[in-house]
Amino acid sequence: MWTLIQIELFKIFRRPRTYIAFAAITGLIGIIQFGLKLDGDSYVEFMMRDITSSITVEGKILNGYQVCYIVLQVLLVHVPLLIALVAADMISGEANMGTLRIMLTRPISRTKFLLAKFMATVAYTLLLLVWLAVLALFVNMLLFGTDDLFLLKSQYVVLLKKDDIFWRYVWAFGFAALAMTTVASLGFLFSLFAENSIGPIVATMSVIIFFTILSTLNIPVFNTIKPFLFTTHMIGWKEFFDIKVNDANEAIVGSIQNSQKIMNSALVLVIHIIGFVTASILIFRKKDILS
Amino acid sequence: MQAIVNVKGLTKQFKNLTAVQDLSFSVNEGDVYGFLGQNGAGKSTTIRMLATLISPTDGEIEIFGLKLEDHRNEILREVGAVIEKPDVYKYLSAYENLKLFARLSGVKITHEKLMKQLDQVGLASRAKDTVKTFSQGMKQRLGIAIALVHNPKLIILDEPTNGLDPQGIADIRNLILHLSRDLNKTLIVSSHLLSEIEQVATRVLIIDKGKKIIEGNAEELFDPAQTIVELQTFDNVYALEQLQISPWNTHLQKQRDTAILIKLDRQLISQLHRDLVDMDIQVLSLQPRHSLEDYFLQVTSGNQHVDTYSN
């Protein structure tokens, strides 16, 4: 199995397409960093325009942690497309090249073959998120320094102490990895049904867009299905930045306001991953290879 | 000779299309088994079933005495296949492709052996070049090198000369003969060109519309002295009964509807005619077919289906 995963990773990282996602993330984060380095004060002024009269904030608001949060908010919506570029190509791309035939005439069970491909897709997803973390967190910490994190929520503000932030990012990236793995497993499932990768990529993104719209629409009739849509839970990483307060309305360092919600979201995502991968295996085992 | 491939009653149904119907044949050890039929005859579907790419709707495949359904991996360790086009990873070099498929086949192979394999198919000098720079003939030879990398006993080549120029066709033909004669491999080679099969095959199966037309030794089928005569009578059922109890029984090839096919030496046609009269069979026509090519074209372009009686 390890040999199979190694072979799949070798194939993924020898394809130019793989590096599009890494280049795109580098470029996008670079632009955000450039803009904020150049005109960050204006951005902060704009962000704080409604509350400067009611509260006074001391210290450096635009620090590495703040920029990382901005980057994640902007980018994690688009990363699924970059994941789908590779995940939705895993089987369909092989069918398109004709290599699926030669692969499946080797003495490897189809289940092992598929699992190795999925594991390689997950490895790619994780590497992409590690790259995102390096650029969005570590590089921003170097470029902008570190300080407390000030977050404006819709009805309240959150102020996290400088020493109480890093671990939250580690968990947030971990959760984002789970969410992106769900996207990867969906793209992977769709890749079984096509002989070129365009269809599965479009199908994956269509499902994500459709479900995201359903998840965000405030129409009561959709409320019953929202908890079951994986898109509802993909933004669960933000929960790591909500903090508990005590009776005196003081923040409890090291706490998470709603850890149960995070657990529930993670569970829904894991169930989706298992469901998509199991369906992929069941379909692929019986599939006639006609490409 | 030991049969290493045994196919019984193989059928594949795709929704409303029966691609292969009740097909039975066997391949002996050391054979170059020519699998002949026009495009769409069911050759590729059958070969894909042998290579486990397609599941049969019905029937049984045994390879090396083991059921393919139950011993897939065990069997595939001894099988090398190039199905249709020899598609490999175009962004990898010939050497990397070969190494990758060797690892997939569970073979630990040295650099020297890999280069030797490439040399065997005339690609050693292009080992480091990416496959996207290769001609169709070079890709075909690389495909064969990949099929051979784990030293299989049985090699399946589906339309190996498709899209090749005359030199490429000759190269593949020589490679097939080398594998058979020098390395004692058993090969199943499909083609829609009788002339190609004729030059390499030791046994031949002709199929049309998913059904077996004829199976036999290539020497007999391609023997220019041998011919197939098409017999039409007033009562084919009676004629067939009489022929079955006569010495002509071993020459019979049956046609289901309008005629009876008999394979014989050309010199025996007049004897056959005399015997038919003696058996009180009222002959409408007795037409010799000039060659297997003629016969092949006739049976595979019409709506007729015949089965072998003997062989």
d(CA B207, CA B43): 7
- CA dist., res. A18 & res. A82, Å (int): 9
B30-40 burial, b for 16+ CB within 10 Å, e for fewer?
ebbbbbbbbee
User: What is the reported pLDDT for B310?
Assistant: 35
* Greatest CA separation for chain A: 71
Contact at CB, A4 and B53, closer than 8 angstroms: no
> Quick one: average pLDDT of A113-118?
94
Which among A38, A36, A37, A61 is positioned nearest to A48, based on CA atoms? A61
A82-107 pLDDT tens trace? 888 888 888 998 898 888 888 898 88
B76 touches chain A (CB under 8 A): yes
Q: Which residues of A touch B85 (CB under 8 A)?
A: 98
Nearest CA among B238, B237, B244, B245 for reference residue B280: B238
ipTM: 0.76
Contact A99 B87 (CB under 8 A): yes
User: Where is A148: in which H helix or E strand?
Assistant: none
Q: Which residue of B has its CA nearest to A8?
A: B100
CB contacts < 8 A (A, B): 76
DSSP classification of residue A251: B
Q: How high is the pLDDT of residue B8? A: 92
Tell which of B13, B14, B91, B95 to mutate to test the A interface (max A CBs under 10 Å). Answer: B91
The predicted structure's pLDDT at residue A102: 87
Whether residue A31 is predicted with pLDDT greater than 50 in this model: the reply is yes
Structural domain boundaries of chain B? 3-215, 225-290
State yes or no: pLDDT of A110 exceeds 70.
yes
Contact: B53, A15; criterion CB under 8 Å: no
Residue A148 pLDDT grade (very low, low, confident, very high; cuts 50, 70, 90): confident
CATH number 3.30.930.10 is the correct assignment for the domain at B225-290: no
Closest partner residue to B91 among A3, A14, A109, by Cβ? A14
C-alpha to C-alpha distance for B200 and B197, rounded to whole angstroms:
5
Q: What confidence tens digit (pLDDT) does each residue in A156-210 have?
A: 777 788 888 899 999 999 999 999 999 999 999 999 998 888 999 999 999 999 9
CA B247/CA B262 separation, integer angstroms: 12
Which amino acid is residue A209, in one-letter code?
Answer: I
Q: Distance between terminal CA atoms of chain A?
A: 25
Rounded to the nearest 10 degrees, what angle do helices A2-14 and A110-133 cross at?
A: 50
List the pLDDT tens digit at each of the 311 positions of chain B.
678 999 999 999 888 888 888 889 899 888 899 888 887 888 889 999 999 999 999 999 999 989 998 999 899 989 988 888 778 898 899 999 999 988 888 888 889 889 988 888 888 888 899 998 988 888 888 888 888 888 899 999 988 887 777 887 888 888 888 888 888 889 999 888 777 787 888 888 888 888 888 787 777 776 667 777 888 888 888 988 899 899 988 888 756 567 888 888 878 888 898 999 999 999 988 887 655 666 666 666 544 444 433 33
**Taking a C-beta distance cutoff of 8 angstroms, is the pair B157, B82 a contact?**
yes
B74 CB neighbours in chain A (<8 A) are 107
pLDDT band at A284 (very low <50, low <70, confident <90, very high): very high
Nearest to B260 by CA among B226, B242, B233: B233
- The per-residue pLDDT for range A244-265, each reduced to its tens digit, is 888 877 778 778 888 899 999 9
Q: Which residues of A touch B (CB under 8 A)?
A: 3-4, 7, 10-11, 14-16, 97-99, 101-109, 286, 288-290
CATH says B3-215 is which class? alpha beta
pTM: 0.80
Nearest CB among A4, A7, A289 relative to B53 is that of: A289
- CB distance B76–A11 less than 8 Å? no
Name residue, tokens 């390096």. A134
List CB contacts (< 8 A) between B79 and chain A: 105
